[in-house]
């Protein structure tokens, strides 16, 4: 075979080039005819020549795939809550893991500074210095507003039917709440002005107004929980009507317009473990693309450890990303677009024009498995941790002889695990959406304040559920629903607010002293009245100041 040489016409050469079959390269033979070309010849033997190109043919379900070596799961910490799980944790104490005393003090100081700046600018409103007690009552009312929805915020303080809510009005006046909300500021106003002067320069920080709370929440999410082996990555939209260049449009999301967040969530619990706010394409490496860079930014490998499997949709999935993560001992699985670079485009042994439900076709390229599965429509997956088919089935309605019946059809393991583990971010979004504290506002940083509160509350609720599982104590009360958790959290905030108020100093003693029937006994004239020549007493009840002697004896 090695010594054979053969010439081809241009038509024959073009036919071989455009075919999907493999070939063995053969040295060129000299020829006087310029129309003849020497091309690779089909290899008819089974030799493993170094020039041999493996056939990219798709395989059917009956052909056995090689099972990948299972990943060795080596997390940086024990998966689950990372704090003392034997201690008693109330909803408020869990919430304070995310809204710590230091960040609350920072928000209070920045809000007071912003209010002072507004007053100095001539804005007319009544302001009293914001305290820790006031801020916790303010947050409790915000959480209450997520449980009880009204069209206008002022309705929470209305006394007419059908409103007449006692919770807000009994704890804070409407004017006080509006003043706090109006002056709420997450960053230092002076530093914020300095940052604004850097606009249109490389030093300008577009997220400076939310940076203190933003950094605190992300750090707390990572510090107090270690994800289990399966994690998922997806986008999250935070609705807004503010005019801001960071606002994005996503037609496939329930929230079409808003700020985009890239989120990493635990697939088992839906705990939001890491996220970042999308500021625009300019912040990413143009060579790798947004989908590649966003995944790498969400995976702090030293904090996570190794052996994780992450699930994602076709926006992020690419052969290049999966290969690079595989080198870092990370498994990957996700739907993939057929126009991705590196996706095999062979049509050999592909689906027929009318494939049956449950048909499977697959190709393996080293660690990358590309698998097609026919459900109601074609599903295309890429994975580094699955074999093509491991015998799993799924129940589907299938029409046979004009009658719809439930039938078990084959399903690739990649599809089954994807459906089970991909919904981490979606479930987290749903938990936030049920009782979201979000309110319409034209200040973009206040939109993020509401969303960060939602993340803190939902993560606190999920931590409470994890504590119940870890303790496995039959006498322990089952965790509340999220609704009850939020109700209890708001109530505990009020109790905490009362305890955080320092006791007022004792007022100066000023009390009436009643004398007996003899009204003249121990009566005294007022010194000033004495000096003025007025010597009369009308009543035996006198104002008494023990520390001030202003009386004359009769």
Q: What is the DSSP string of 317-363?
A: --HHHHHHHHHTT-EEEEE--TTSTT-----TT---SSPPTT-EEEE
Q: What is the mean pLDDT of residues 28-37?
A: 38
**Residues 3 and 98 both lie in one domain:** no
Separation between Cα atoms, residue 71 and residue 329, nearest integer Å: 7
- pLDDT for the residue numbered 56: 53
User: Residue 357's pLDDT is what?
Assistant: 87
If you ran DSSP here, which 8-state letter would residue 479 be given? P
Q: Does residue 258 sit in helix, strand or coil? A: strand
| 238 lies in the same domain as 210 | yes
pLDDT in the model for residue 26: 36
pLDDT exceeds 90 at position 480: no
What is the structure's pLDDT at 111? 97
- Rounded (5°) CA angle 416-420-426: 135
Q: Domain check: are 320 and 283 in the same one?
A: no
Percent of the chain past pLDDT 90, that is, above it, reads 53
Q: Are 374 and 358 in contact (CB under 8 A)?
A: yes
Do 170 and 120 belong to one domain?
Answer: yes
Does residue 533 form part of some domain?
yes
What CA–CA distance (Å, rounded) separates 360 from 336? 16
119, two tokens: 């007053």
Is residue 491 domain-resident? Answer: no
With respect to residue 489, please indicate whether it lies within any of the assigned structural domains. Answer: no
In the predicted model, is pLDDT for residue 183 greater than 50? yes
Residues 229 and 295 placed together within one structural domain of the fold? yes
Q: Which of 3-17, 136-150, 279-293, 348-362 has the highest mean pLDDT?
A: 136-150
Does residue 482 lie within any of the structural domains? no
Least confidently predicted of 6-15, 221-230, 419-428? 6-15
User: 175 and 242: one domain?
Assistant: no
**What pLDDT was estimated at residue 400?**
80
Give the mean pLDDT of the chain: 83
Task: Judge if 415 and 329 occupy the same domain.
Answer: yes
Task: Tell me: do 390 and 354 sit in the same domain.
Answer: yes
Looking at the fold, whether 155 and 114 belong to one and the same domain comes out as yes
Average pLDDT over residues 455-476: 89
Q: Is residue 22 part of a domain?
A: yes
Are 254 and 269 found together in one domain? yes
243 and 379, same domain (yes or no)? no
What DSSP state is assigned to residue 24?
B
User: Looking at 162, 185, 208, which one is the last position of a domain?
Assistant: 185
CB 270 within 8 A of CB 465: no
Point out the least confidently predicted range of 53-57, 173-177, 327-331, 467-471.
53-57
Interval 334-343 mean pLDDT: 92
Among the candidates 185, 207, 241, a domain finishes at: 185
Domains of the chain: total: 5
Q: Residue 17 — very low, low, confident or very high, per pLDDT cuts 50/70/90?
A: very low
309 — pLDDT class (breaks 50, 70, 90): very high
Query: β-strands 225-226, 403-410: how paired?
Result: unpaired
Range with top average pLDDT, 227-231, 371-375, 532-536: 227-231
pLDDT more than 70, % of the chain: 79
The pLDDT score that the predictor gives to residue 52 is 35
68 pLDDT above the threshold of 70 = yes
- Give the pLDDT confidence of 348-358 residue by residue, as tens digits: 888 888 888 88
Q: Which of 13-27, 193-207, 223-237 has the lowest mean pLDDT?
A: 13-27
Asked whether the predicted pLDDT for residue 51 surpasses 50, the reply is: no
* Cα distances (angstroms) measured from residue 466 to each of 98, 427, 432: 17, 16, 18
Q: Is residue 286 part of a domain?
A: yes
Residue 393's domain comprises: 314-421
- Lowest mean pLDDT segment, chosen from 40-44, 214-218, 525-529: 40-44
Q: Are residues 268 and 413 in the same domain?
A: no
Residue 503 falls within a domain, yes or no?
no
In a domain, residue 62? The reply is: no
Mark which of 364, 398, 421 sits at the end of a domain.
Answer: 421
Q: Does the pLDDT value for residue 281 go beyond 90?
A: no
Confidence of residue 43 (pLDDT cuts 50, 70, 90): very low
Reference 19, options 40, 36, 35; nearest CA is 40
Residues sharing a CB contact under 8 Å with residue 227, sequence separation 6 or more, in sequence order: 75, 79, 266, 271, 273, 304, 308
């Amino acid at each position: 075979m090695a010594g054979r040489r053969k010439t081809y016409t241009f038509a024959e050469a073009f036919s071989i080039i455009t075919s999907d079959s493999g070939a063995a390269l053969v040295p060129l033979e000299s020829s006087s005819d310029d129309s003849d070309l020497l091309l690779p010849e089909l290899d008819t033997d089974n030799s493993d020549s170094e020039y041999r190109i493996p056939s990219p043919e798709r395989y059917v379900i009956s052909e056995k795939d090689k099972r990948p070596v299972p990943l060795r799961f080596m997390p940086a910490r024990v998966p689950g809550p990372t704090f003392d799980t034997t201690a008693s944790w109330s909803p408020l104490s869990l919430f304070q893991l995310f809204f710590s005393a230091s960040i609350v003090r920072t928000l209070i100081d920045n809000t007071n500074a912003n209010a002072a700046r507004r007053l100095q600018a001539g804005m007319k409103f009544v302001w009293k210095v914001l305290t820790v007690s006031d801020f916790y009552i303010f947050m409790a009312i915000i959480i209450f507003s997520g449980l009880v929805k009204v069209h206008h915020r002022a309705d929470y303080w209305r006394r007419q039917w059908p409103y007449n809510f006692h919770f807000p009005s009994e704890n804070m006046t409407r004017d006080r709440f509006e003043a706090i909300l109006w002056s709420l500021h997450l960053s230092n106003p002076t530093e914020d002005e300095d940052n604004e002067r850097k606009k249109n320069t490389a030093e300008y920080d577009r997220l400076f107004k939310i940076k203190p709370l933003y950094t605190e929440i992300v750090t707390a999410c990572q510090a107090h929980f270690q994800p289990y082996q399966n994690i998922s990555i997806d986008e999250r939209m935070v609705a807004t009507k503010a005019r801001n260049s960071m606002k994005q449009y996503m037609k496939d999301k329930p929230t079409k317009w808003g700020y985009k967040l890239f989120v990493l969530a635990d697939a088992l619990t839906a705990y939001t473990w890491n996220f970042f706010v999308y500021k625009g394409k300019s912040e990413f490496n143009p060579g790798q693309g947004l989908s590649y860079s966003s995944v790498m930014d969400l995976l702090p490998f030293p904090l996570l450890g190794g052996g994780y499997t992450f699930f994602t949709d076709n926006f992020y999935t690419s052969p290049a990303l999966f290969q690079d993560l595989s080198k870092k001992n990370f498994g990957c699985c996700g739907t993939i677009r057929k126009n991705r670079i590196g996706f095999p485009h062979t049509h050999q042994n592909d689906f027929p024009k009318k494939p049956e439900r449950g048909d499977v076709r697959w190709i393996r390229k080293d660690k990358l498995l590309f698998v097609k599965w026919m459900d109601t429509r074609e599903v295309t997956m890429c994975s580094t941790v699955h074999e093509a088919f491991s015998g799993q089935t799924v129940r589907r309605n299938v029409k046979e002889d004009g009658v719809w019946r439930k039938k078990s059809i084959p399903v690739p393991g990649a599809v089954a695990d994807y459906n089970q583990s991909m919904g981490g971010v979606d479930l987290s979004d749903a938990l936030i959406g049920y009782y979201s504290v979000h309110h319409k506002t034209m200040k973009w940083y206040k939109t993020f304040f509401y969303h960060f509160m939602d993340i803190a509350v939902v993560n606190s609720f999920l931590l409470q559920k994890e504590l119940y599982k870890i303790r496995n104590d039959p006498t322990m009360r089952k965790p509340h629903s999220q609704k009850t958790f939020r109700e209890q959290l708001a109530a505990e905030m009020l109790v905490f607010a009362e305890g955080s108020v320092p006791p007022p100093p004792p007022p100066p003693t000023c009390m009436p002293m009643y004398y007996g029937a003899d009204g003249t006994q121990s009566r005294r004239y007022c010194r000033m009245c004495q000096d003025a020549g007025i010597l009369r007493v009308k009543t035996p009840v006198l104002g008494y100041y023990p520390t001030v002697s202003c009386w004359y004896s009769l």
